[in-house]
Amino acid sequence: MKKFFERLHIKLFGKKYYPEDYNFNEKEISTESFPLLALRDLVLFPDTVISIFIKQSSDIAAIDEARLRENRLFASCIVKDETNPLANEHCKTGTVIRIINRLKLPDNTYRVLIQCEYRGVIISSSNQHGVALVKVEPLKTTGLNDPLSDDDLALMRSVQKSFAQYAEYSRRISGDTLAAVEKTENPERLANLICNSVYLKPEKKTELLGFADTRQRLHEILETLERENQIYGIQKNISGKVKSRMDKRHREYILNEQLKEINKELGKDKIEDEFVILENRIAEKKPPQEVLEKTAKEIKRLRKLQPFSPEAGVLRTYLEWIADLPWSSFTVDAGDLVEAEKILDEDHFGMEKAKERIIEFIAVRQLIGNEEQNKNEQPGDLAALSLIPDTVPINSPLPNSIKGPILCFVGPPGTGKTSLGKSVARALGREFVRISLGGVRDEAEIRGHRKTYVGALPGKIIQSMRKAQTVNPVFLLDEIDKLSWDFRGDPASALLEVLDPEQNSTFTDHYLEVQYDLSKVMFLTTANSLHSIPYPLLDRMEIIEVPGYGENEKLSIAKQFLVPKELRNNGLNTAQITFRDDTLKDIIRYWTMESGVRNLERETARCIRRIARDAVNKGYGKDKPISEFKKTVKPASLEKLLGRKKYKRDLVYREARVGVTYGLAWTEYGGTIMPVETIRYDGSGELLITGNLGDVMKESVRIALSYLRSAGGKYNFSLDALSKSDFHIHVPEGAIPKDGPSAGITLASSLLSTLCKVPPLPCIAMTGEITLTGRVLPIGGLKEKLLAAIRNGMETVLLPRDNEEHWNELDKEIRSSVKVEFLETAADVFERLFPKEIIKKKSTRP
């Protein structure tokens, strides 16, 4: 044992070993104070020498304090609460240690060689200059008599035998330690050597350190060793079975290789195996050189594996994905602008901005294609021939063209954003693929899983590319604003590379592990709102607004698209069914209230189904041909076909009322009217706000009230009324959350009407943010708000002056349907909204 420590000391510190430094046989057993060394997951036992690293600042301070106390400390293990070692019951027992040598490292940490002297128990603690000091009482051992009885000697020998078996199983016990355990005759020393050598959890070692009864301690050590030996035995048995199974597979592999050689000698090797077929399939797709090298390496690995091994199945599936993906095949874009415009107009009404952008893209592609063709047309040069046919061969190289745009169609539901993607693909002559991103929370849905995982697959991007079978499809990412994130990652961040034209040429799916070029793909995205899309993702897209439809636009859509479609779907396409214009307008006004046409389509389909039932009841389609059935749908028959009216505009009063004004709001589902009601009653100036309003809207109420206080000398109300009255402001439909600053002028007008007891002029709506100085700031969603005003029968709309240029961009139909006045200040709004009686008359002095 002495030689072992001598070698350890010279190896660690390069010094000669001095036995007197260790004092194995001299222990100062007394109650005294020591610095506390709180070790992490390390339990020290007496009769051992060990080298440890000290990194924690508190432990370094304890080491420095030990210099003043004969280099002695009290070491205790932390196994539960690292923030407060003294709060842990297992930390009460530890070991008094002596520092033999310390070595300060360049990073201000210590490498310390320590001698463990005896066990002790903390009886009190204190803190001195940031160092924890503990008063320790030696642990008094009991249970064994001197000389040892036969039972005690038998117990010691059982422990030594069990430890020898443990050393044989684990193969991590040194020969010196095993020899020291077998030769020792001291029960305490035997227990300490074994506890220090075995590999147990710190909790268990701390428990073994705390036994005062030596006989009980040896029994516990014996039980622990026997349990560990039993576990090792089971593990060895399992390892033997696995090794036997692996030997069997190896034998099968050798036999299969011998069978291949036998078939080769018999001339049966001409049959092409699956690996050659797989190599040819991948080569036919002409992938990049990086992919060819990767697949060649994986096929080489696959040849060496057993056919039914799990790893072989993973590799085979991976190579099948590589072989199925399009690497070079593409479609030639249509160059006929007139035909493209015709297709877009056939499928969708309106959407001028979106259609113009698609036509621009086709025109640019046509110019670039002609330029490349002129460059390649050389005498005797056959390279230009690949641009002449209408369909390009799969193996033809992809022409060097512009990168696919990233377009984002933003608008209310039911305006045709999703179906526009199919029309774009048809107009371009490309393949169309679509994935829905609504509710996607897992980043692996975009980038895929590592192929080492069970059931791993590529992400939705690569799966859709395999479905398209071309490298330049029209790719629709639907509902991109509905993405979410949780502990599985952020799919919106994973889309940053996909939707960046400068990066998506080197897109890497986790499953493929090779780069895939997405730069030729035309990505289209749809969203109802831009607010929930992260800005880095939004910055990569070209935003195209798809606004809601007016009444006349809905009428045209119903006549040109919806009614003919539903007649075909319900078997009445040959019947003589006529919907009058006033009938369709009544459906739009009283059975739908939306910016899109989805509900209009539902109500039209419901009406046609009722007509189809009546036709069948009259014998058409069975006894009579359906082409003879005639019906003209009139407004008077709508309640019979569709039931009672759903929308009656109950929130809008046709007569003027004190304290009631009408604002305009924009939501993800389009524009809506927003009445504001205010009442005043005696009180102490309290302001009550209801209607499920957000923080921004509540701030607008306070701004409006403050502005009226400052302008009180101009209008016909008393400032004392503000301090002696309570005001209750309510926005109806309290179940619907409302927020935003654009209701500021509406709230101020409602408060002024209540204070002056003068009703505003009827059938006037307004919108705009108000400031403390009375300025009216511009708003967004102008078209949606105006459509809401038109739907609810408003005759005049008051808008901020800065929105005048947006008004000029709107359709003539909307501009002719409502009167709009542009105002700059709240005073201008009040002058237009109220009669002159609200202005306070100036007093004249004699």
Please indicate whether residue 742 is annotated as part of the active site.
yes
Q: Closest by alpha carbon to 463, among 509, 394, 525?
A: 509
Q: How many CA atoms lie within 13 A of 771 on its CB side?
A: 9
Cβ pair 605, 566 in contact under 8 A = yes
Cβ pair 760, 658 in contact under 8 A = no
Distance of alpha carbon 474 from alpha carbon 485, whole angstroms: 26
Is residue 147 reached through a cis peptide bond, with omega within 30 degrees of 0 on the bond before it? yes
Q: Closest by alpha carbon to 473, among 321, 281, 329?
A: 329
Distance of alpha carbon 671 from alpha carbon 666, whole angstroms: 4
CB-based burial of residue 777 (10 Å sphere; 0-12 exposed, 13-18 middle, 19+ buried)?
middle
Cβ neighbour number for residue 2 with a 10 Å cutoff: 10
Cβ pair 732, 691 in contact under 8 A = yes
Choice among 92, 460, 738, 785 that is catalytic: 785
> Could you give the residue ranges of the DSSP H alpha helices within 759-825?
782-791, 804-808, 812-817
Helices 695-710 and 744-756 cross at an angle (nearest 10°) of: 50
Q: How many CA atoms lie within 13 A of 251 on its CB side?
A: 6
Write phi, then psi, for 792 (nearest 5 degrees): -95, 10
DSSP output for 706-758: HHHHHTTTTBSS-HHHHHSEEEEEE-S-TTS-B--GGGHHHHHHHHHHHHHT-
Cβ neighbour number for residue 586 with a 10 Å cutoff: 18
The total number of residues written for the chain in this structure:
846
Distance of alpha carbon 276 from alpha carbon 71, whole angstroms: 74
Distance of alpha carbon 383 from alpha carbon 390, whole angstroms: 15
Tokens describing residue 148: 């040892």
Question: What 3-state class would DSSP assign to 137?
Answer: strand
Tokens describing residue 635: 């407004």
Distance of alpha carbon 734 from alpha carbon 730, whole angstroms: 9
> Could you give the residue ranges of the DSSP H alpha helices within 266-351?
274-284, 289-304, 310-324, 337-347
711 residue type, one letter: A
Q: Closest by alpha carbon to 651, among 840, 447, 789?
A: 789
DSSP code of residue 509: -
Q: Closest by alpha carbon to 716, among 663, 771, 767, 755?
A: 755
Distance of alpha carbon 833 from alpha carbon 813, whole angstroms: 25
**Contacts of residue 309, Cβ cutoff 8 Å, sequence gap at least 6:** 249
> Could you give the residue ranges of the DSSP H alpha helices within 456-580?
460-468, 491-498, 535-538, 551-557, 563-569
Choice among 162, 423, 742, 753 that is catalytic: 742
Distance of alpha carbon 346 from alpha carbon 355, whole angstroms: 12
Beta bridge partners of 661: 676
Distance of alpha carbon 778 from alpha carbon 804, whole angstroms: 9
Cβ pair 799, 664 in contact under 8 A = no
Please indicate whether residue 842 is annotated as part of the active site.
no
Per residue in 806-821, is it b (16+ CB within 10 Å) or e — as a string? bbeebbeebeebbebe
Cβ pair 298, 318 in contact under 8 A = yes
**Contacts of residue 619, Cβ cutoff 8 Å, sequence gap at least 6:** none
The residues annotated with a catalytic role in the active site are 742, 785
